[in-house]
Structure 1
Amino acid sequence: MLRHIVLIKTDCPHEVDRLVAAVPGFIGRVPGLLQVEVGRDRTGLTRGYDRGFVMTFDGPDGLAAWDVHPDHDPIRSALMAVSEMIVFDYEV
């Protein structure tokens, strides 16, 4: 399995919340996407990256399918327009 973590810092929290709320809807539409978790920070130690999501894929091929999926670029572009992001992928 592979986890794809996206941490978000924004001055437009309502827009980011709206965009991130759509991410769980990709389950069943993106081959290899097994699970999505969306949340906000509870520690206050994030240097402003207080929103994020985790996508769990069945492996590197699942992440590769997400990279070229037609839903990926529009949400990535929309998030990049209103936020800064840190992306971290790792195998489990």
Structure 2
Amino acid sequence: MLTHVVLFKLKDRSPESVEATRQVLVNMEGKIPVLKHIEVGVDVHHLERSYDLVLITKFDSPEDLQVYDTHPIHEEVKAHMKKVLDGTSVCVDFLS
């Protein structure tokens, strides 16, 4: 299994904005067949070095991650994230 973890820092870090973007991410659940698990977490400490959201997804293979990356639902999410991100996201992909 491949685990894909992405951290996001938003331009607008208000609770309402963070929740709206969390909903955009969670909305992928059940809509992309290769996406085996999705979890979205919201930062609770709000430190200067903190990221606002974490996306944890799981796939059967690296190839499935590539399918996910170009899926139309994920493309919509990427378009949203491009508008709301403060800079770039960071990610880690590892075999689990």
TM-score by length of structure 2 reads 0.76
What is the Cα deviation at residue 4 of structure 1? 1.1
Q: Could you list the per-position Cα deviations for residues 39-71 of structure 1 after superposition, in whole angstroms to 9, with x for gaps in the alignment?
A: 123455671313111011111122111011001
Q: 1:65 aligns with which of 46, 67, 70?
A: 67
Match of 2:29 in 1: 27
Match of 2:93 in 1: 89
Count of residues paired in the alignment: 92
Q: Please give the root-mean-square deviation of Cα atoms over the aligned residues, in Å.
A: 2.1
CA contact (8 A) 2:41 2:55 kept: yes
Mark the runs of 5 or more structure 2 residues left unpaired by the alignment. Answer: none
What is the Cα deviation at residue 25 of structure 1? 3.5
Question: For structure 1, which segment, 75-84 or 37-46, has the greater mean C-alpha deviation from structure 2 after superposition?
Answer: 37-46
Q: 1:50 aligns with which of 44, 49, 52?
A: 52
**Higher strand proportion:** 1
Percent identity (aligned):
30
Q: Could you list the per-position Cα deviations for residues 19-42 of structure 1 after superposition, in whole angstroms to 9, with x for gaps in the alignment?
A: 322333323321221111111234
